[in-house]
Amino acid sequence: MPAGNPPTAETAVTTAVENDAPLRVAVVIGSVREGRQGRAVADWFLDTATGHDSLDLDVIDLADTDLPLVMPGWGGSPSPETAAVLADVSPRLAAADAFVVVTPEYNHSFPAALKNFIDWHHSQWQAKPVGFVSYGGLAGGIRAVEQLRLVFAELHAMTVRDAVSLHGPWSGLGEDGTPRDAAVCEGAAKGMIGQLTWWGRTLRSARASHPYQG
């Protein structure tokens, strides 16, 4: 098998600079329900992740992102209102090196608003890692995460193994938004962030040297 072109010094320097740059992580808050716990859960995660200097966090709250359920036909264009929303969020997804999805569990799955947001995009997800912070009842939202893993696999994204799962956030979060079992949750977040960072840096370098053709 031919070896291909060896890396040049310029390529090596560029890759090193990229690997030293902060990892751009888009944190998507997937619930839009009134009285939701999603913002409190996301704020706790953001406080936890902010301690990692290697991360550059960008919050995309779907409660502030009004995308219609009806999409234009194949080859069609969205309405001016929808185009304006996409002009804000789509470049942020494209610029991200990795994603964290904060999701509740609704009826053994995840919210319709989150699926709609995911479906409005495609190439922005490709060849990038996705981590999850889920919350719900006894299952802690893990069934929503299992459904999301299938969706992101179809979009050529890579979901990291470890996730953060909060059980009963309506009673499990203190008044300051900190989980009552903080040590367990922070340990889970640390593991997930570590995996997300490794995959984010690795795939960023891979996309730079070999653009994904999926």
> What pLDDT, in 10s, does the model give residues 15-37?
545 568 999 999 999 999 999 99
Other Cβ atoms less than 10 A from the Cβ of 79: the count is: 11
Mean pLDDT of 93-101: 99
Residue 111's pLDDT band (cuts 50, 70, 90): very high
Q: Are 92 and 60 in contact (CB under 8 A)?
A: yes
122-144 pLDDT tens trace: 999 999 999 999 999 888 999 99
Section 183-199 average pLDDT: 96
Q: Which domains are delineated in the chain? A: 24-31+38-66+82-209 (3.40.50.360)
pLDDT of residue 15: 56
Task: Return d(Cα 147, Cα 139) in angstroms, integer.
Answer: 14
Q: What is the mean pLDDT of residues 175-195?
A: 89
- The helix or strand, by DSSP H or E, that contains position 92, with its residue range, turns out to be helix 80-95
Q: Model pTM?
A: 0.90
Separation CA 21–CA 17 (nearest Å) = 6
Q: Which of 180, 176, 106 is nearest to 136 (CA)?
A: 106
